[in-house]
Structure 1
Amino acid sequence: MKKTKMKAFTLVEMAIVIFIISLLILIIMPNVAKQRSNAEKVNTQALQAELDTQAQLYADEKGTEMENVAPTDLEKAGYLTAKQVAAIEKHHLKVEKNEQ
């Protein structure tokens, strides 16, 4: 009897590999979505803190009230970048007065 060497995968082997990969994807995807949501939340909080800090600095320098400061004013004065202002407007963030 001659032994034949197997040179290719069988259909069953391929089906098992595809099943295992699919199972791993089903396990991983909800965790990735949750982490993305958490990262977006943390990013928004950091952006709000940056906006409030820069607005306070601007208001102190100009002698105005913090609530009257707009993100575009902060961009023109060099306190924020255009990218930061775009993100602030995207998230509809407003200047919040910090009670100290």
Structure 2
Amino acid sequence: MFNNERAFTLIEMLIVMLVISVLLLLIIPNLANQSESVNDKGCEALKEIVQTQAEAYYLDNKEKVNNIQTLVSAGYLKDNQTSCGDTPITIRNGKVNDDS
């Protein structure tokens, strides 16, 4: 009566679940480590943008900027570009300081 019925056995399903679990255990820690690296590179890119805008401000106004809020009020940066995460970006004598 059930001779031609084809289906996965319980053992086959358990083996598939085991393989998927092992792959997840190997992949998830690597993703967490890469997230920190991506955030660090994003912060470095943001500092480069702020430095470029400080130089553009100098070219336009013939004076070096000493405060990042000056760039924001002059329209060179947006409010959300003044810090990287919890670390504020600072400028002294027209140069972005690497305090982090």
Stretches of structure 1 that go unaligned for 5 or more consecutive residues are none
Partner in structure 1 of residue 28 of structure 2: 29
The counterpart of 1:79, out of the listed 66, 76, 80, is 76
- Residues 37-52 of structure 1: matches in 2 within 5 Å? 37-52=36-51
Question: Structure 1 or 2: larger strand share?
Answer: 2
CA contact (8 A) 1:44 1:91 kept: no
Distance 2:58 2:17 in 1: 60
Stretches of structure 2 that go unaligned for 5 or more consecutive residues are none
The counterpart of 2:91, out of the listed 84, 91, 95, is 95
> Whose RCO is larger (CA < 8 A, sep 6+)?
1
Paired-residue identity, % = 33
What is the CA distance between 1:14 and its match in structure 2? 2.2
Q: Which residue type is aligned with residue 69 of structure 1? A: N
What is the CA distance between 1:2 and its match in structure 2? 6.5
What is the CA distance between 1:24 and its match in structure 2? 0.7
TM-score (norm 1): 0.70
CA contact (8 A) 1:59 1:69 kept: no
Partner in structure 1 of residue 67 of structure 2: 69
Moved more, 73-82 or 41-50: 73-82
Q: Does structure 1 residue 3 correspond to structure 2 residue 3?
A: yes
Distance 2:2 2:45 in 1: 70
Distance 1:4 1:49 in 2: 67
What is the CA distance between 1:44 and its match in structure 2? 0.6
Distance 2:63 2:54 in 1: 10
TM-score (norm 2): 0.70
